[in-house]
Amino acid sequence: MTDERLNLGVARLLGLLSDRLESFLEGDDTALETLGESIEQADFTAEEVQAAILVLGSLARTASPAAPAVLRAPGEQAHRILSAEERESLSTEAWGYLIDLRRRGSLSAEDFERTLDLLSGCGVRPVSVDLARDVATRVALKVDDPGEGLEARHGEFDLAH
């Protein structure tokens, strides 16, 4: 059997396995029970099945857990990148102001994200430094509703998510 044909057979078999596992996760209880029949009906050769087993085994042996650095939260001095929606909603000055608050420790990572959510969803474009200051202050002080009392000056606040 040529390498190309073997590779195609292995790819088809791995695709079948993938489809069946996905079906099983979606609630099809018989997806794995009928896998053997599907392999037989697809006329996979013993060589293709053995090669697929080797591929899966190789992946299992070489897969290493994520590096510890990836599992940890970024450092205190790390800054995140704005999403396209956030770039459109915040003025450069407002973004700089929020970054400075985060850098100085005035806003925790959670408060920083909450402030961004509120500012992104408030409907004001672009968000001014004054509005960013008002919302960040209310979030940092744990005011129950950071948008309460700001509607008349800045519009309605809703979480973007």
Round to the nearest angstrom and report the end-to-end CA distance of the chain: 53
- Alpha-carbon distances of 77 from 34, 47, 117, rounded to whole Å: 53, 54, 21
pLDDT digits (tens, 9 = 90+) for 114-132: 998 899 888 888 999 999 9
Residue numbers in the chain where pLDDT is lower than 70: 1, 63-79, 144-161
pLDDT of residue 17: 92
pTM: 0.45
